Amino acid sequence: MSAAAANRVREAVASLDDTADRLASQSRRYYHNPYQTAWPQAVDPEGTWYTAPELSSLYGTPWWEGLAEPARHRLSFFEAVNFFSLNIHGEKTLMAGLASRLYRPDLAGIADYLHHFLDEENKHSVYFGGFCRRYARIYRSRQVQFPGSPFTAEQEDFLFFAKTMIFEEIVDYYNARQAKDVRLHPLARFINQYHHGEETRHLVFGRRLAARLWEVCAPAWGEQAREDIRRYLRAFMVMAWREYYNPGVYADCGFDDPWGVAEGAWQAAGQRAHRRAASGR
């Protein structure tokens, strides 16, 4: 990174020092040990809800209408397994990005909070992995990583925090609602509740940092680069949402044409409206 770019990043990050200190002290105060949870031996996928029905990817589609209650429960179970799986994949990338930024001189002021951020993501994945591996499996990610990047290191910093924020905003839409939903299996509800609690802090940090990096750094990039970045982030958001319509889920629920179901659900008017509402922030 050029000296001018590093100075801009340092300036943007400096205005977050107080926020990062406050969030770090909250992380210490609410420090959570993920190894004290009592996991049931087994869960019954058809016995109750694991995802709120209104948040199912098939809600409002003809496929939903065609399912009896136990089959809807089963779908809600595999949707939860998919939600937890996509979080594992997102958090792996996130942890790698946080680790690579720890103790970088221009990010020194937020190093303490980056430690908590990284620690908390790791613990989230302990829960997500614990659920998926005990009761089902981890679905593989369909996201493709392309080698190389057309962006500068400074732009990559902004993109890393902006993508993290977009990913976490979508996830938190689900977490926040399901944390309060007494219809859910207590374990599924707990995982949403716990995740929401820590993600609230990550989002305070991420929203401020992404905004500051854009304000301080982006004016030096030129209009073409800024437009490329906007287009890239729009594509990232579509890709992030696509993971919520996983043919593997529909196959595990016995649908004959899981890819057709995924495409039909993605196009359904009710699901478009849901994605718009959930992307509001």
Q: Which of residues 8-27 bind Fe ion (CB under 5 A)?
A: none
Compute the Cα dihedral for 240, 273, 75, 121 and give only its sign. Answer: positive
> Smallest distance, Å, CB 228 to Fe ion?
26
Q: Which of residues 64-123 bind Fe ion (CB under 5 A)?
A: 121
98: exposed, middle or buried (C-beta count within 10 Å: 0-12, 13-18, 19+)? buried
Nearer to Fe ion, 106 or 121 (CB): 121
Cα–Cα distance, 200 to 190 (Å, whole number): 15
Nearer to Fe ion, 74 or 124 (CB): 124
> Smallest distance, Å, CB 201 to Fe ion?
8
> Smallest distance, Å, CB 20 to Fe ion?
15
Cα–Cα distance, 227 to 237 (Å, whole number): 15
Nearer to Fe ion, 163 or 202 (CB): 202
Nearer to Fe ion, 75 or 203 (CB): 203
Q: Which of residues 199-258 bind Fe ion (CB under 5 A)?
A: 199, 202
> Smallest distance, Å, CB 88 to Fe ion?
9
Compute the Cα dihedral for 70, 51, 126, 34 and give only its sign. Answer: negative
Cα–Cα distance, 225 to 222 (Å, whole number): 6
Binding mask 157-196 for Fe ion (x = CB under 5 A): ----------------------------------------
Q: Which of 73, 124, 185, 274 binds Fe ion (CB under 5 A)?
A: 124
> Smallest distance, Å, CB 27 to Fe ion?
11
Residue 2 structure tokens: 């050029």
3-state secondary structure of 145: coil
Q: Which stretch binds Fe ion (CB under 5 A): 31-39, 69-77, 124-132, 228-236?
A: 124-132
Size of site (CB under 5 A) for Fe ion: 4
Nearer to Fe ion, 79 or 121 (CB): 121
168 and 278 Cβ atoms separated by less than 8 Å = no
Nearer to Fe ion, 199 or 252 (CB): 199
Tell me how crowded residue 96 is: count the other CB atoms within 10 A of its CB: 12
> Smallest distance, Å, CB 207 to Fe ion?
12
Task: Give the DSSP H/E element, type plus range, for residue 19.
Answer: helix 17-29
Nearer to Fe ion, 169 or 199 (CB): 199
Q: What distances in angstroms separate CA 222 from CA 150, 157, 243, one per listed residue?
A: 14, 17, 33
Cα–Cα distance, 50 to 54 (Å, whole number): 12
Nearer to Fe ion, 13 or 191 (CB): 191
Q: What distances in angstroms separate CA 280 from CA 63, 86, 169, 205, one per listed residue?
A: 26, 20, 9, 18
> Smallest distance, Å, CB 23 to Fe ion?
12
212 and 13 Cβ atoms separated by less than 8 Å = yes
Residues that bind Fe ion in the complex, under the rule CB under 5 A: 121, 124, 199, 202
